[in-house]
Amino acid sequence: MRGALPWFASVAVALTCHAERPNIVIILADDLGYGDVGVCNPDAKIPTPHIDRLASEGMLFTDAHAASATCTPSRYGLLTGINPARTGVLNTTLQQGIPIISGNEPTLGAFLQERGYTTRMVGKWHLGFEGGKAATKKITSDKPLSGGPLDRGFESFFGIPSSPGEPPLCLIRDRALTDSEGFHQEQLSPSLCREAVEMIHAHAEANTGKPLFLYYASPLPHKPWVPTEEFQGKSGVGDYGDFVMQLDDVVGRIAGALRETGLEKNTLLIFTSDNGPSPPAVESMNAIGHDSAGGLRGQKSDAWEGGHRVPMIVKWPGHVPAGTRSKALVNATDLLATIAGILDSQPYPSAVDSVSFLPVLTDPAASHSRPPMVTARHAIRHANWKLLSSRRQADAGELNLADFSLYDLDADLAESTDLLATHRGQADPLFTAFQQFTKERVLKVRSQP
């Protein structure tokens, strides 16, 4: 594995010299495409006024990436700072439902809890529990769940065990089932949003002096698309568009709660998505002339940019300049190191794929040279160059350079022209970096306990 990351040496900036630790709120959308957000896609046909406002009040990253192109590995990477490709975490890793994050892989929640934060999670967990799917299907008060959020750095949890629409259909509070018989899909997001808003107000009223970390993992706009009556037909482009607008409203409500309580002025608010748009969303939106991928090639699960390049907005009044954009290459795994830098701390040694982009937060034009970044299945990116293999089902160790294509994303964001034959000077070092990453893998061995 790579050793200490070079981010810390460059963190001697004014941003770290604040007297008060900021509250931290992360809003993670589920299957939201880069092109579904107006501020990322001028031709978007779905209004997203609250997300667009957030961008006007903070910094939009135009080259931000989820840790993977699918839900489970993406969430694993965000919380641990470990690239899921390094440990072999795939969406299929959750088939048994057992914990994806091992007990020896500390999380962002644990990191902040150790530094005096109140840590809370609301929404979609999707990272398993001890006992696997059988445990979540038989949740009872005398058999509390373990291996979930409360054992991975969070003091409280209110949400769903897996994807919306995937059994068991239930809400969990901390370690116990709250309700299953009365579970209604269309009321899931309102219930979660209400919880988050009340949590923000309660934290402000308690005034304990402890900062808040809230990880809000929205189930929207993942299928099933079941907008509430208020949003049905609102977008004019179908249920998916309505659901995206409902997500936008959630962002507005959470941001509004921060304003109303006065917490906004010292809150680092981050909005992003876990991967690109789902195939059904792409098909549905293409039919009405809306490009959910925003000009990028591919969709959820693809190594193409459309699979993992996502909207990312960071707002922190007085620290992050409002209405700015950054072209810095960043990944959701980088949040742990960046937040560590804000707190003048070192990230966990285990967070080997977390690279701080802290200098960029004060200056969007600041130089930020990220080490080569492996994305999705068998793709690697450095600066504007990307090497990608179409052999998705092959093991990374079996691949040769001839299995790859090379793209210059500065000139060809749609990844339409393979330059491997003419630019071997760019391809060779990227493939060498890919091989080195592959050799460093420590693949997880998973079996049902």
**CATH number of the domain that residue 305 is part of:** 3.40.720.10
User: Do 30 and 116 belong to one domain?
Assistant: yes
What does the pLDDT read at residue 7?
29
Tell me the sheet residues that pair with 176: 173
Asked if residue 139 and residue 234 are part of one domain, the reply reads: yes
Last residue of a domain, one of 352, 371, 390: 371
Q: Based on the structure, what is the number of domains in the chain?
A: 2
Q: Which of 211, 101, 102, 87 is nearest to 155 (CA)?
A: 211
Residue 444 lies in a domain: no
In a domain, 39, yes or no: yes
Q: Are residues 219 and 241 in the same domain?
A: yes
Q: Is the peptide bond before 221 cis (omega within 30 degrees of 0)?
A: yes
Residue 228 forms part of a structural domain = yes
List, run by run, the mean pLDDT of 10-residue segments along the chain (449 residues). 34 42 98 98 98 98 98 98 96 88 96 98 96 66 84 97 89 87 89 98 97 98 98 98 98 98 98 98 98 98 98 98 98 98 96 98 93 95 97 94 98 98 98 97 66
One-letter amino acid for residue 372 of the chain: P
Residues 64 and 152 in one domain: yes
Q: Is residue 307 part of a domain?
A: yes
Report the catalytic residues. 71, 126
Does residue 446 sit within a domain? no
SS3 63: strand
Looking at the fold, whether 255 and 382 belong to one and the same domain comes out as: no
Same domain flag for 419 and 316: no
For the chain, the residue count is: 449
Which of 318, 339, 371 delimits the end of a domain?
Answer: 371
- The answer to whether residue 7 sits within a structural domain is no
Here the CATH number for the domain that contains residue 433 is 3.30.1120.10
Domain coverage including residue 423: 378-439
> 11 lies in a domain?
no
Same domain, 213 and 129: yes
- Sheet containing strand 379-382, strands side by side: 373-375, 379-382, 385-389, 404-408
How many angstroms separate the Cα of 306 from the Cα of each of 40, 77, 190, 302?
A: 13, 18, 29, 7
265 and 338 fall within a common domain: yes
Tokens of 422: 């003419």
Question: Which token pair is 223?
Answer: 């299928």
Together in a domain, 304 and 363: yes
Token pair listed for 112 = 């902040």
Predicted pLDDT at 139: 59
Pick the closest to residue 214 from 127, 118, 128 (CA basis).
118
pLDDT of residue 325: 97
How much is the pTM? 0.94
For residue 138, the model assigns a pLDDT of 61
Q: Do 200 and 169 contact (CB within 8 A), yes or no?
A: no
In a domain, 445, yes or no: no
Give yes or no: residues 154 and 245 share one domain: yes
- The last residue of one of the domains, among 371, 388, 414, is 371
Helix ranges (DSSP H) in 46-178: 49-57, 71-80, 84-87, 108-114, 132-137
Tokens coding 393 = 């089902």
Give the integer Cα–Cα distance in Å for 226 and 90.
Answer: 27
For 178, the token pair is 């709250």
Asked whether the beta carbons of 135 and 97 are under 8 A apart, the reply is: yes
> Is the Cβ–Cβ distance between 46 and 292 less than 8 Å?
no
Number of C-alpha atoms within 13 angstroms, CB side, residue 219? Answer: 30
- On whether both 389 and 361 belong to a single domain, the answer is no
Beta strand segments in 260-391, E? 267-273, 309-315, 324-326, 330-331, 373-375, 379-382, 385-389
Can you give the pLDDT at residue 445? Answer: 60
Cα radius of gyration rounded to whole Å, the chain: 21
Q: What is the pLDDT of residue 169?
A: 87
The angle subtended at Cα 146 by Cα 145 and Cα 147, nearest 5°, is 135
Q: Give the whole-angstrom CA distance, residue 192 versus residue 217.
A: 9
Tell whether 422 and 276 lie within a shared domain. Answer: no
